[in-house]
Amino acid sequence: MSELLSGTAIRPWIERLLADGKRVAGPQRVHEDLVQYAWLTSADQLALDGFVRPSNSIKEVVFPRHEQLYGYQFKGKRIELLPAELPTKEQIVIGARPCDAAALPALDGVFNWDTQDEFYNRRRELTTVVTLACGAYDAHCFCTSVGLGPGDVRGSDALLIAVDDENYEVRCLTDKGRRLFAGVTTESSAVGRVMEGPPVQFDLDKLGAFLAGGYDNPAWQAAAMRCLGCAACAYTCPTCHCFDIVDEGGPSGGTRVRNWDACQFSMFTAHASGHNPRGNQGQRQRQRIYHKFQIYPEKFGALLCTGCGNCTRNCPAGLGVLPILKTIAPTP
């Protein structure tokens, strides 16, 4: 026996969630060629098929691109701090890809390293992730090369698997998932089948060996020659989480905010003295790969990459991590 989410039940279910004051996010068709995760204002906006994966990621729901940390008011020589309002609304992502869901448990590590980031943790607590198993992959997908797959459940509260064009088998994995789907699904004998993932595209062990000794390898400079130093890869990546902290305000006060930032920007590590430890793009690309495939796993036990392929798809120069990894750690 399995649980079935019928195609006709989806719209009313989402409308109810929205009416209950919950925030719902999912893939939306922005243009003919563009599907992005976005907050829904109506159930009609949700798109569940006809694409490989959205061009952005779901990290926005736990790590927004712009977030207020606290406010400050000038009171003569004194300052009054105004604590930020932490979110209180429940958030549900419907239709995340496995490579998006798996990013969240990976990010838990850094945001709780010795000190707890309450902004991230609060949003994480409030979020339920309903993952949709993939029905297709393209040349940029490499989830299977990093230990994931089209039906992987890491980070998911529930998994949807299409049983036909309209209906989905639901596998609830956590209490959050069970609570969400209570009364929404019906019993059925239909079982969804998860497709085979893409062939493995590089050798993780070989990569580890290369990184152990490859810091000064000229491959980094060669690989980065066409990199333009934008943040299209980092900002569409489910796991990239670097940020900047700035003050925004006027003569009476303002807010201190955190914004996404990226190690690919030329000034990311620039010192006030003018010295820049990562002054060329090869050094910056190298940092990205090391951070994702050596530094982060050593510290937090998880790769900082889920093989979603967004970096390459969104890179104007066709770079991203996969072309580099295939060069330095090819499969036999």
Partner 1 sequence: MQEELRQTCRRLLTDGTVQVVIGYGQAAADDRVVPVFITRPEDADQLVWNDRCFANLAKYLLRKEVAALGRAAICVKGCDQRALLVLEQESQIDRSQLTVIGLACDGVGEPRQAKCQSCDVHTPRQADITVGQASAGNPPATADGRYAEIEAFLKKTPAERMAYWKAELSRCVKCYACRQVCPMCYCRQCIVDKNRPVVISTSATLKGNFAWQITRAFHLAGRCVGCDECTRACPAGIDLRLLNLSLAKAAEENFSFRAGMDPAADPIIGAYSQQDHEEFIR
Partner 2 sequence: MSANIYQPDLMEVIQVRQQTADVKSVRIAFRDPEQARAFSFRVGQFGIFSAFGAGESTFNICSSSDWTDFIEFCFRRTGRVTEALWNAEEGDTIGFRGPYGNGYPLEKWKGKNLIFVGGGIAMPPIRCAIWYALENREQFGDVTIVYGARTVGDLVFANELDRWAEFEGVRVVRCVDPGGETPDWKGEIGFVPTVVERANISGENAVALVVGPPIMIQFTLPVLAKIGLPDASIYTSLENRMKCGVGKCGRCNCGPVYVCKEGPVFTLEELKRMPKDY
Residue position matching structure tokens 């990290």: 59
Q: Pick from partner 2, partner 1, none: which does 147 bind, CB < 5 to 8 A by kind?
A: none
* Mode of pairing for the β-strands spanning 2-5 and 186-188: antiparallel
CA nearest to 96, candidates 36, 181, 42: 36
**Single-letter amino acid, residue 235:** Y
From the number of C-beta atoms within 10 Å of its C-beta (0-12, 13-18, 19+), residue 13 rates as buried
If binding is defined by CB under 8 A, does position 242 make contact with partner 2?
A: yes
Return the structure tokens found at 313: 């798809």
Site track for partner 1 across 219-238, x = CB under 8 A = --x--xxx-xxxxx-xxx--
Q: Pick from partner 1, partner 2, none: which does 275 bind, CB < 5 to 8 A by kind?
A: partner 2
If binding is defined by CB under 8 A, does position 257 make contact with partner 1?
A: yes
If binding is defined by CB under 8 A, does position 109 make contact with partner 1?
A: no
Neighbours of 213 (CB within 10 A): 8
Q: Which is nearer to partner 2, 61 or 161 (CB)?
A: 61
Residues 196 and 136: their CA atoms lie apart, in Å, by 9
If binding is defined by CB under 8 A, does position 263 make contact with partner 2?
A: yes
> For the packed helices 321-328 and 281-290, what is the interaxial angle rounded to 10 degrees?
80
If binding is defined by CB under 8 A, does position 44 make contact with partner 1?
A: no
Q: What residues numbered 105-124 form the site for partner 2, per CB under 8 A?
A: 110-111, 113-119
- Separation in Å, CA 122 to CA 37, 65, 88, 96, 128: 20, 16, 8, 20, 12
> For the packed helices 103-111 and 118-126, what is the interaxial angle rounded to 10 degrees?
150
If binding is defined by CB under 8 A, does position 136 make contact with partner 1?
A: no
Could you list the residues that contact partner 2 (CB under 8 A)?
69-70, 72, 74, 77-79, 81, 83-84, 110-111, 113-119, 215, 241-247, 249, 253-254, 256, 258, 261, 263, 268-273, 275, 277-278, 283, 287, 290-291, 294-295, 298-299
Interface residues with partner 1 (CB under 8 A) are: 30-31, 33-34, 36, 38, 55-56, 65-66, 138-140, 221, 224-226, 228-232, 234-236, 244, 246, 248, 257, 259-260, 262, 265, 267, 280-282, 312, 314, 316-319, 322-323, 326
